[in-house]
Every structure is written in C-alpha cells, then in structure tokens.
C-alpha cells in the first residue's frame, strides 16, 4: 500500500532595512529514494525571481534564488507531491542478537567506509556521561530502540528553550528541547558507541498527533552492519517510516538547514515559515 502526500512549505523573510541583493538556498525538496517518490515540485516567490535548481555539498537537490532588485519583504511557497511506500521496517532489519555484528562495528572496513558519520562535530559531541548504557547482550537494533525510548522518556518536547547552537550539555541539564536537540543527542550517544549516525531533515506527517509542530522535522539514521541505514525518531520514539518524508541528511543540523542565505542588508531580519503535510491513502487501481 502507498500513501499520497502533498506538502506545502511557505516562508516569509522581512528586513528592517531594504536589502540590495540576496541569495537563498532552500534544502526542502523531498528526496527520491527506495521508499518515496517525488511526483512533482513547484516553487515560487513573491518577487517572481527565477528559480535555479542546484545541489548542496551532499548532493541533495536545492532551490536557489537571487533577487537583484531591492526589497524589504519576500515570500516563498513550495508545493510537493510524493508517493510514500508503506512497509514494515521490522521485516527489513536484523533484530537477532549476534556478537559478530558488534565485532563488525569495530572492523576497519566498516569504520573507514562510514567514517564521515562517525566523526565528532561540535553539536554531536558529549562532554559528560549520560545515563543511557548499551547492553551488549541485546542486538544493536534493540539497543537503539531503547535509546529512542530513553530520550522520549527523559526529555520533554518544548519550543523556545533551545536554539540551533545549543550544545548537548545544556540540553542534558534542562532535559527539554525540540527535535533537533533530541536528534543531536541520539547521534552523539550512538556515535560514541561506534554506530555511524546522521542527522536527517524532513517532513513529518502529524495526522497521528506526533510532536514536531508545523515546521520541518529532524530525526536520526544509523548504519548497522547487518541492516544498513535505519531511521529513528527520538522526539516521538518511532522508527522512521511512512510518516517521515526525508529531504536530506548530514553530520548535524549545520549540514542541512532548510534555508541558507547571503543577504546584503543591515539591521534586523526575520524569517517565519510553516509546513503543512496532508495525506490520503492511494486509491486501489
């Protein structure tokens, strides 16, 4: 069975002083992969500046626009249609405990192959002990599921208490945060154990009351020797599946913010954006 999704992303940037030229890069296009197919994408802006299609450093598709006129305000709207496969992740992963999988994790071949996602970054480095411990009698997958629940239980979803630069020390202290923070924490703990982990930016279908407000969502992908990359959503204690529509991944948030810009202006500026995800079951043909 498949799900049809339509996604609308809108953003509005306002500037205190008129700007003279700008360049924005949007990393908001759903990825085409095994479990999701992008049917259509459309992007427009209130200044009618032509849209360029490009890629970011990890080869994910981006939109780029460069208005040449001066302005104080600009609005962007993107519409996507995708088809998401509904599949049972548990059938794909190896849930059996095997000592060999733990050993494989330590093999040079595996470590070198996944080196990028084992590296420490400022946002995914732990400077203190955490209460979560890996259990070497359980499978890696089960351990990660436990980590997922641990974060969900120990931490409270709360907006406006952290921002994109908040480090893990602070999050561990206040035990609150949003999806980015929980994702960074998950990555840090998993990487410390030697599991290659990456930050995923995307859309969450909230039909079932999941946390993540009407913005872009973040979750984790971990690479296990026997199962490959699997998504974990610590904010909702879920395995990323048909409700998670992936846009891009990177080492941490700084590799995949939805919007990056170079703006030639002085004074304050503000960005507001919202995301709407709606779905319907695909009609049987």
Partner 1 sequence: MKRKDNNPTFESYNRDPKLYDEIFDEHENVRETYKTLFELYSEHSAQDFGRLNNKAKASFFNQGITFQVYGDHEIKEKIFPFDLFPRIIDSEEWEHIEKGVLQRSKALNAFLHDLYHDKNIIKEGIVPLDLISSSENYLDQMNGFDPPGGIYNHISGTDLIKHSDGKYYVLEDNIRCPSGVSYVICNRTALKRALFGVFNHYQAHTVTDYAQNLLEILETVKPKGVDVPNCVVITPGIYNSAYYEHSYLAKAMGVELVEGRDLFVENDFVYMKTINGPEKVDVIYRRIDDQFLDPLEFKPDSAIGVPGLMAAYKQGNVCLVNAPGTGVADDKAIYTYMPEIIKYYLDEEPILNNVSTYHCSRPDELKYVLDNVHNLVIKPVDEAGGYGISIGNRLTQEEIEEVKATIIASPRKYIAQPIMSLSVHPTYIEDKECFEPRHVDLRTFTLLGENKEFVLKGGLTRVALQKGNLIVNSSQGGGSKDTWVLKNNQ
* Residue 71 CB neighbours (<10 A): 18
Residues 6+ apart with CB under 8 A from 164: 180, 253, 254, 257
- How far apart CA 154 and CA 172 sit, in angstroms, is 9
Paired strand residues for 174 = none
Write down the least CB distance from residue 241 to partner 1, Å.
27
**Could you tell me which of 186, 179, 228 has the C-alpha nearest to residue 201?**
179
**Residue 58 touches partner 1, criterion: CB under 8 A:** yes
Q: Which is nearer to partner 1, 127 or 283 (CB)?
A: 127
Q: Which is nearer to partner 1, 68 or 268 (CB)?
A: 68
**Residue 23 touches partner 1, criterion: CB under 8 A:** yes
Q: Which is nearer to partner 1, 96 or 165 (CB)?
A: 165
- Site size for partner 1 (CB under 8 A): 27
**Residue 164 touches partner 1, criterion: CB under 8 A:** no
Write down the least CB distance from residue 26 to partner 1, Å.
11
**Residue 56 touches partner 1, criterion: CB under 8 A:** yes
* Residue 118 CB neighbours (<10 A): 19
User: Helix (H, G, I), strand (E, B), or coil: what is residue 70?
Assistant: strand
Which residue is associated with the tokens 């990660």?
144
Write down the least CB distance from residue 118 to partner 1, Å.
7
Write down the least CB distance from residue 125 to partner 1, Å.
12
**Residue 251 touches partner 1, criterion: CB under 8 A:** yes
Q: Which is nearer to partner 1, 77 or 254 (CB)?
A: 254
HSE-CB of 253 using CA atoms within 13 angstroms: 21
Q: Which is nearer to partner 1, 180 or 237 (CB)?
A: 180
**Residue 103 touches partner 1, criterion: CB under 8 A:** no
Q: Which is nearer to partner 1, 191 or 217 (CB)?
A: 191
**Residue 112 touches partner 1, criterion: CB under 8 A:** yes
**Residue 129 touches partner 1, criterion: CB under 8 A:** no
**Residue 132 touches partner 1, criterion: CB under 8 A:** no
HEC string for 159-217: CCCCCCCCCHHHHHHHCEECHHHHHHHHHHHHHHCCCCEEEEEEEECCCCCCCCCCCCE
**Residue 170 touches partner 1, criterion: CB under 8 A:** no
Q: Which is nearer to partner 1, 25 or 201 (CB)?
A: 25
Selected from 59, 99, 129, 131, the binder of partner 1 by CB under 8 A is 59
Q: Which is nearer to partner 1, 94 or 125 (CB)?
A: 125
Q: What string of DSSP letters covers 19-51?
A: EE-EEEEE--PPPPBTTEEEEEEEEEETT-PPE
- How far apart CA 189 and CA 117 sit, in angstroms, is 13
User: Helix (H, G, I), strand (E, B), or coil: what is residue 59?
Assistant: coil
Q: Give the distance from CA 199 to its chain's centroid.
A: 5
Selected from 13, 19, 25, 236, the binder of partner 1 by CB under 8 A is 25
- What residues make contact with partner 1 under the rule CB under 8 A? 23, 25, 52-59, 62, 64, 66, 108-109, 111-113, 115-116, 118-119, 250-251, 255, 260, 262
């Amino acid at each position: 069975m498949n799900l049809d999704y339509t996604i609308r992303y809108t953003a509005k940037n306002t500037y205190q002083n008129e700007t003279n030229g700008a360049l924005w890069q949007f990393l908001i296009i759903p990825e085409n992969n095994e479990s999701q197919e992008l049917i259509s994408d459309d992007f427009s802006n209130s200044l009618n500046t032509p849209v360029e299609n490009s890629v970011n450093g990890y080869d994910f598709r981006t939109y780029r626009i460069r208005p040449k006129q001066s302005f104080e305000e600009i609005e962007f709207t993107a519409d996507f249609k995708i088809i998401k496969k509904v599949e049972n992740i548990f059938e794909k992963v190896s849930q059996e405990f095997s000592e060999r999988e733990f050993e494989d994790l330590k093999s040079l071949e595996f470590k070198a192959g996944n080196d990028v996602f084992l590296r420490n970054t400022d946002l995914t480095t732990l400077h203190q002990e955490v209460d979560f411990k890996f259990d070497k009698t359980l499978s890696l997958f089960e351990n990660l599921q436990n980590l997922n629940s641990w974060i969900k239980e120990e931490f409270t979803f709360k907006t406006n208490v952290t921002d994109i630069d908040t480090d893990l020390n602070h999050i561990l202290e206040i035990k609150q945060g949003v999806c980015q923070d929980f994702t960074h924490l998950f990555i840090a703990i998993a990487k410390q154990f030697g599991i290659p982990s990456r930050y995923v930016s995307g859309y969450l279908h909230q039909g079932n009351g999941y946390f993540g407000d009407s913005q872009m969502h973040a979750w984790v992908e971990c690479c296990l020797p026997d199962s490959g990359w699997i998504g974990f959503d610590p904010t909702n204690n879920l395995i990323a599946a048909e409700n998670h529509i992936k846009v891009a991944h990177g080492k941490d948030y700084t590799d995949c913010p939805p919007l990056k810009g170079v703006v030639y202006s002085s004074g304050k500026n503000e960005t507001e954006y919202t995301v709407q995800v709606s779905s319907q079951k695909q009609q049987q043909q």
